[in-house]
Structure 1
């Protein structure tokens, strides 16, 4: 699982062997394939991009084309051990509704997202006056799929307001884990494991 993106690697290390998972916004299925092959998981996926769906299916994965904003309502309650939403929250039209479905469908939910309060983002806005374009946020303001610029502190407040339980949280700067202290400023990405 070492060749996975850093946030996916954290998720893969914390999914129990043999679990049933639904990976929403699964991309080309890299996480699903790792969980199937190395942890014996029954992995299913939902992906909006047809090219990614084709790539995942070519890996022998059970992936359907769909939109998290509209298609999660058809999944039954508690039908998976884990529902996973990696780097997709900020692209959802109604992220609060998507998160409600995530925690309805899965007994637990992993959520990972880029932190838009990271110091490099702040500097880019303060000194350059422009939305940042970085290795981790490569799109320009007009072609980005990111429509909700969530920060770690925003997400923590959201969870607190909803009374959701955080079972685990991990913060990444580049590919290295960083402490929770000042994560809103120092971490580029966050991963949360949630439960109702």
Structure 2
């Protein structure tokens, strides 16, 4: 089975031999791909069923909550931290990003862009939060508690003195340019590092 496009980008970008913590690792799909290229991947996952599934795949995963449990990891314990499609579900995304960069010098953060033109159009025409391929449930069913945009995330990292090393934007499952990414990109993947 092929990796989700954002996970494929991350898997390709992490170098062999790296030590990685995948925060919100789901069923361990990315960890399996990373392990195949010689990466020492560990996972933190809140959903007990996903923890069980990841362990059944032979992955090293613990049940925990990114909002509280990242504080238990020592400074610099990993080379990379990964937070894929989880930022918008955290209580304080700013604090979670700070924790990622405390436990690893670099972090991958990916999220759906809530300023994509389809989201804007749905709000304009219908006056309702949209249901899309990346946001497939009604607003009252979604785990998303923060509606982050590409511009919002850039502002956050700039304000915190965090360096953006690389950015990938996806429209559908295909890469798209940085030009007008705030409304063209459905999804963004940032590789960030401490300034």
Q: Does 1:80 align with 2:92?
A: no
Question: What aligned pairs does 1:27-176 form with structure 2 within 5 A after superposition?
Answer: 27-37=26-36, 39-176=37-174
Distance (whole Å) between structure 2 residues aligned to residue 145 and residue 13 of structure 1 = 28
User: Which residue in 1 is equivalent to 2:187?
Assistant: 189
Kindly provide the CA deviation profile for residues 78-121 of structure 1, in whole angstroms up to 9, marking residues without a partner as x.
00000000000000001111100000001210000000000000
SS at match of 1:60: coil
| CA distance in structure 1 between the aligned counterparts of 2:144 and 2:184, rounded to whole angstroms | 20
Post-superposition Cα deviations, 1:40-71, rounded to whole Å, max 9, x if no partner, equal 01110000011111110000000011000010
Does residue 1:12 correspond to 2:11, yes or no?
Answer: yes
Q: Give 5+ residue unaligned stretches, structure 1.
A: none
Structure 1 CA distance for aligned equivalents of residues 134 and 106 of structure 2: 27
User: Residue 168 of structure 1: SS of its match in structure 2?
Assistant: strand
Count of residue pairs brought into register by the alignment: 194
What's the C-alpha RMSD, in Å, of the aligned pairs? Answer: 0.7
Please give the alpha-carbon distance, in whole angstroms, between the structure 2 residues aligned to 1:135 and 1:87.
Answer: 13
CA distance in 2, matches of 1:36, 1:170: 23
**Could you state the TM-score of these two structures normalised by the residue count of structure 1?**
0.98
TM-score, reference length from structure 2: 0.98
The gaps in structure 2 that reach 5 residues or longer are: none
Structure 1 runs of 4+ off > 2 angstroms?
none
Alignment match of 1:179 (pick from 161, 177, 180):
177
